């Protein structure tokens, strides 16, 4: 009987995958939740959910300052709050990068041609900031209120701060 390869391929020069029911080998990446060796956040304390929610809702009130302050104050106390504050800051930084990138491509031709037609693509990052900000931040706040972690899609949230 031939041996079946693991579903995602074996690392080059490594022995076959983990034995069924045995200890999960970290060389194979993170296992599913509950498997020994998979990193997980400790259950949040009573006030951790509140701080994590404030990291998201504060963005809607005072922009990036809320998650920045929460991140700097709580980063050594709670990995859970740190995750959510970093997530909210990364989202704001990503929106800024999207807006500045499109502006850098659209504004020079508009100035040279003296025509505002070249500024039309700026509508897309504006809508992303307007609509996406409400959707993703509220979704993140709801998950934080339940004590869960939630990652925004990578296109909308580059993971720069961890």
Residues 111-153 have pLDDT tens digits of: 999 988 989 999 988 888 888 888 988 999 999 988 888 888 8
**CA atoms 82, 88, 93, 98: torsion sign:** positive
Let me know: does 22 contact 48? Beta carbons within 8 Å.
no
> Is residue 86 packed enough to be buried (19+ CB in 10 Å), middle (13-18) or exposed (0-12)?
buried
Q: Which two tokens stand for residue 144?
A: 């934080």
Q: Which two tokens stand for residue 18?
A: 């983990």
Provide the pLDDT confidence category of residue 69 given band limits of 50, 70 and 90.
very high
pLDDT number for residue 38: 44
Please give the Cα distance from 154 to 92 (Å, whole number): 13
**Average pLDDT for residues 71-87, to the nearest whole number?**
90
Q: What is the mean pLDDT of the chain?
A: 79
Q: Which two tokens stand for residue 41?
A: 């956040």
Q: Which two tokens stand for residue 138?
A: 């509220």
pLDDT number for residue 2: 59
- pLDDT at 18 > cutoff 60: no
Three-state secondary structure call for residue 96? helix
> Is residue 88 packed enough to be buried (19+ CB in 10 Å), middle (13-18) or exposed (0-12)?
buried
Please give the Cα distance from 71 to 22 (Å, whole number): 38
**Average pLDDT for residues 10-30, to the nearest whole number?**
54
Q: Which of 53, 55, 73, 72 is nearest to 64 (CA)?
A: 55
Let me know: does 30 contact 36? Beta carbons within 8 Å.
no
> Is residue 9 packed enough to be buried (19+ CB in 10 Å), middle (13-18) or exposed (0-12)?
exposed
């Amino acid at each position: 009987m031939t041996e079946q390869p693991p579903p995602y391929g074996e690392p080059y020069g490594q022995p076959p995958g983990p034995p069924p029911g045995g200890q999960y080998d970290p060389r194979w990446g993170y296992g599913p939740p509950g498997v020994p060796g998979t990193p997980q956040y400790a259950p949040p304390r009573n006030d951790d959910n509140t701080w994590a929610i404030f990291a998201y809702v504060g963005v809607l009130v005072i922009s990036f300052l809320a998650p920045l302050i929460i991140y700097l104050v709580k980063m050594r106390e709670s990995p859970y709050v740190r995750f959510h504050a970093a997530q909210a800051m990364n989202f704001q930084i990503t929106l800024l990068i999207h807006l500045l990138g499109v502006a850098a491509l659209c504004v020079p031709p508009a100035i040279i041609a003296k025509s505002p037609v070249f500024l039309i693509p700026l509508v897309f990052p504006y809508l992303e900031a307007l609509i996406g900000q409400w959707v993703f931040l509220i979704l993140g706040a709801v998950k934080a209120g339940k004590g869960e972690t939630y990652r925004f899609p990578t296109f909308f949230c580059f993971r720069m701060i961890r």
